[in-house]
A and B are shown apart, each in its own frame.
Chain A
């Protein structure tokens, strides 16, 4: 076990929230031992991992992944999801609570934490805001928070009842936890499967207007102002939503936001062939929306990139477009897509690592900095390696990636989780 022998990441450029520098990193006992140029292994026979030409960064942190366990193991399990995460450079993943049963009580939190032992990354359960995610009664957030849950969301749906959402925010602020919202006004969105606009009209499929998301973003900003509580917005996808959050931040309201890679790389035109692999909620939007999300990532309006990794088995995605479940894989492709944003690499890594760590309240353990004494959660990224996305070769149990056949640039070479090299030369070690 490398916990005994140690690791030496040699020849890379360390990038974290303090800056970039050429340095080797020595790891032992689950912690970073040393960071500096030309380190040797100190005679301990540490395993040397070549990081030449690579960036060595704190392990990535995903604020938003659906690991499907318990209840939908045919799509993904915590184990297979964590393997996909590790291959994507992630050392921590927040697991969404829309499982079956949903994560709305201490018992389910404990189950997930138990299943997460032995995973290839940290799997941190998020709790539901309402019982059963049904949107009528508050879930026992305190008892879940006592087990370490820091983030609560009904993701999959938004909380429709404004009064209930206000109560939830007030209650949450007393607990020091963060509420996150899947913004979707049920009335406006009802029956839609695509972004409402040129493509939904051409394809003859009912659409979801941008306003269905923006209405709830606006409402929750107002409720955050009313209650003084913080609010995190999941998967923002429209120009209007980004503008609202920008305004709210300028006014000093404590909101944060994330965006998924598919919302800054794909538009509704991708669904022209009716392939349900392009069906997602919120849906793929317009060029203008994609541009606004990219701008929001660049100017700090959007704090984090989160994958919204949503596996579905092939038979589910072979259904007619309006019957297929929405969702796309994301853990193994997000890094390359994010590097293609044409932002400086430290900014991209910030969006993928330390900034989501802060939102999730994981900053003590995850997200760096890469410094002696810190837990050894690291990823080694080759920013110029090209590779072709082949669905059948992904570690996820499912195959629903919208990037099948695409050549991407940027790949994880090694991933170190708690001092263990879980990915070496692009291969998962277990």
Chain B
């Protein structure tokens, strides 16, 4: 496997391989010296056109724990100069000799375009609405820690699926592992066509909750309010928010996940969010291990 642009690049055994490798790297990360020489001499570059300190640092930590060298091009710093074309920037980076480029961009498809222009391996760290494969892998890992195998599990993804790259990657990953995926959202927050998506759809959250093994709440972005996708946040919360009444409908062992940061009172009621035994936000430590697994798979495993 040369690139990780979407979850589908991993193929059927790929996700299992990443899960197994993540176990190994969780062990590495727990050591007093959390480092192995596996990618010594390799260079991993982050090319972040969209600011995201957490994700970028997670990839950087992952590369460093594998003893790789890192370089950083982020739009926050001046190293990504405005006006320089994407292609010129990428080709310049490659000329410095890099083995992997981790790309985040607000436009879908940029990692695929970068992959056409460089010899290095490309990792998609989030491209527009399209995909965020390493986050989905992390979600799989976290869910497996709580549920065991995801085969035949029922997992609901609730909220703004249309604009969510995490949702697209999650759907692909969960379905690949044998889970039944249900999208719960108003029609305006679903993609125009779900042809070929391995999902069921429901507009009735109450009906879906009692039979779930896990529910993933997507952030209802305040920034989208002007697009008239829902009449108001209040209406959204009334129909799709995880209120305490709804939380009680969930089976005892069901897991509630939220990519974070949470909009308390919108997609999740404040008192439900504070039941910290039930709500799991991104596990930062596991995130580094998952990304170590991905980098090792691309650059080390051959």
Contact = CB atoms under 8 A, between A and B. Distances in A.
Q: CB–CB under 8 A between A and B in the complex? A: yes
Interface string B168-204: 1000000000000000000000011111110000000
A84 B186 CA distance: 50
Given A318-B87, A319-B86, A320-B86, A203 B193 contact: no
A207 B105 CA distance: 19
Contact-residue bracket for chain A: 20 to 34
Contacts of B107: 320-323
Contacts of B75: none
Nearest to A207: B192
Given A204-B108, A274-B108, A320 B192 contact: no
A126 B14 CA distance: 56
A274 B130 CA distance: 11
Interface string B67-95: 00000000000000000011100000000
B109 interface: yes
A201 interface: yes
A275 B113 contact: yes
Contact of A320 (B109, B116, B193, B197): B109
Interface in B127-177: 127-131, 165, 168
Contacts of B116: 273, 275
A194 to B, nearest CB: 10
Contact of A198 (B87, B109, B193): B193
A202 B7 CA distance: 13
B192 A196 contact: yes
Interface string B112-129: 110010000000000111
A204 B105 contact: no
B109 A321 contact: yes
| A contact patch SS | loop
B196 A273 contact: no
Contacts of B195: 197-198, 201
Contacts of B192: 196-197, 200-201, 207, 209
A274 B108 CA distance: 8
A198 B192 CA distance: 8
Contacts of B108: 203-205, 274, 320-322
Nearest to A321: B109
A318 B193 CA distance: 28
B240 to A, nearest CB: 20
A204 B107 CA distance: 9
B4 to A, nearest CB: 15
A315 B108 CA distance: 18
Contacts of B197: 201
Contacts of A204: 108, 127-131, 165, 168
B110 interface: yes
Interface string A308-344: 0000000100111111000000000000000000000
A26 to B, nearest CB: 52
A68 B192 CA distance: 35
A273 B117 CA distance: 13
Nearest to A318: B87
A202 B168 CA distance: 8
Given A320-B107, A320-B108, 9 more contacts: A197-B192, A197-B193, A201-B192, A201-B193, A273-B116, A321-B107, A321-B109, A322-B108, A323-B107
A-B interface, 10 closest residue pairs, ranked by CB to CB distance from nearest? A274-B109, A320-B107, A204-B130, A204-B129, A201-B191, A318-B87, A201-B193, A204-B108, A198-B195, A321-B109
Interface of B: 85-87, 105, 107-110, 112-113, 116, 127-131, 165, 168, 191-197
15 contacts: A201-B195, A202-B196, A203-B108, A204-B129, A204-B168, A273-B109, A274-B110, A274-B112, A274-B113, A318-B113, A320-B105, A320-B107, A320-B113, A321-B107, A322-B128
Interface of A: 196-198, 200-205, 207, 209, 273-275, 315, 318-323
